[in-house]
């Protein structure tokens, strides 16, 4: 009998990068569940079109809710027999300089961007360890590496995400589970498209490859990291930023 398809849960799965990840994994034969906040009919229809006929499930989830994350992981495992791949792609921004930042702006970003990683991994990793296979990919950001004006909350969350990645990678490496993060640069999503043309042009001028990225650039990197034969890569942070930030 052919092996069962890998089961993948992608948070933020209805967003620009999340949708591309869902489509890429589905094309590779994974059984994909896209988790996101409750969305209206128009957004659901747009997601269906984006999946190009691939059978991707959707589930409503507030990733900042610990108990809700537990329930979704348990449901996926009960219905599909396993959760093999977890991609933490949910994220928000609430920008403002620290001198003007409200406590709610800080709390919201940490809750969605960082607490969510704990909430999902905490409930998913036990089954992965028990089965001797798992792939976790956390979508971080170049701004977690370099900092960004007006984003102390976002930069802290994204930097913390990779610290979490490295620590968990050490805990589960001998159990067949890898944990990695990806640090996208500026990707052509609605958030970047909403920038004034002049601002976007200034940003592109600083990117060595001469363009912003596209969601597929991130999706292909996720697909590489979650492959069955990628078991010797763990605790890594892969920059996908067109050369915007280079380091050892």
CATH number of domain containing 197: 3.40.50.720
What is the distance between the alpha carbons of residues 46 and 190, in angstroms, rounded to a whole number? 14
What residues form DSSP beta bridges with 187?
213
Residue 107 placed within a domain: yes
Residue 57 placed within a domain: yes
pLDDT digits (tens, 9 = 90+) for 108-119: 999 999 999 999
The pairing of beta strand 177-184 with beta strand 134-139: parallel
Cα 195–Cα 197–Cα 145 angle in degrees, nearest 5:
50
Of 149, 169, 150, 171, residue with least CA distance to 161: 169
Look at residue 148 and tell me whether its pLDDT is greater than 80.
yes
Look at residue 83 and tell me whether its pLDDT is greater than 70.
yes
pLDDT digits (tens, 9 = 90+) for 25-68: 999 999 999 999 976 778 888 888 889 999 999 999 999 999 99
Residue 248 placed within a domain: no
Sheet of 237-240, strands arranged across: 57-60, 31-36, 7-11, 85-88, 134-139, 177-184, 237-240
Residue 243 placed within a domain: no
Look at residue 87 and tell me whether its pLDDT is greater than 80.
yes
Residue 242 placed within a domain: no
Q: Is the dihedral of CA 148, 149, 155, 159 positive or negative?
A: positive
**pTM strictly above 0.85:** yes
Of 181, 179, 176, residue with least CA distance to 168: 179
Q: Give the residue numbers marked as catalytic.
A: 154
Residue 179, domain extent: 7-234
Q: Give me the number of domains the chain comprises.
A: 1
Q: Is the dihedral of CA 155, 157, 163, 166 positive or negative?
A: negative
């Amino acid at each position: 009998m052919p092996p069962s398809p890998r089961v993948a849960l992608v948070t933020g799965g209805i967003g620009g990068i999340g949708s591309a990840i869902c489509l890429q994994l589905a094309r590779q034969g994974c059984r994909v569940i896209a988790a996101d906040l409750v969305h209206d009919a128009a957004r659901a229809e747009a997601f269906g079109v984006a999946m190009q006929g691939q059978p991707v499930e959707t589930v409503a989830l507030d990733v900042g809710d610990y108990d809700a994350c537990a329930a979704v992981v348990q449901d996926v495992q009960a219905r599909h027999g396993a959760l093999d791949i977890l991609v933490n792609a949910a994220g928000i921004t609430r920008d403002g300089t620290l001198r003007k930042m409200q406590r709610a702006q800080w709390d919201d970003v940490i809750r969605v961007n960082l607490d969510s990683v704990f909430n999902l991994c905490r409930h998913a990793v036990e089954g992965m360890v028990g089965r001797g296979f798992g792939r976790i990919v956390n979508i971080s950001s170049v701004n977690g590496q370099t900092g960004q004006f007006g984003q102390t909350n976002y930069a802290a969350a994204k930097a913390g995400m990779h610290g979490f990645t490295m620590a968990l990678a050490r805990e589960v490496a001998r159990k067949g589970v890898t944990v990695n993060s990806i640090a996208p640069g500026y990707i052509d999503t609605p958030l970047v498209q909403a920038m004034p043309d002049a601002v976007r042009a200034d940003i592109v001028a600083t990117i060595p490859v001469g363009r912003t990225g596209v969601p597929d650039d991130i999706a292909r990197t996720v697909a590489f990291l979650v492959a069955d034969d990628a078991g010797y890569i763990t605790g890594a942070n892969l920059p996908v930023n067109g050369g915007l930030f280079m380091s050892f």
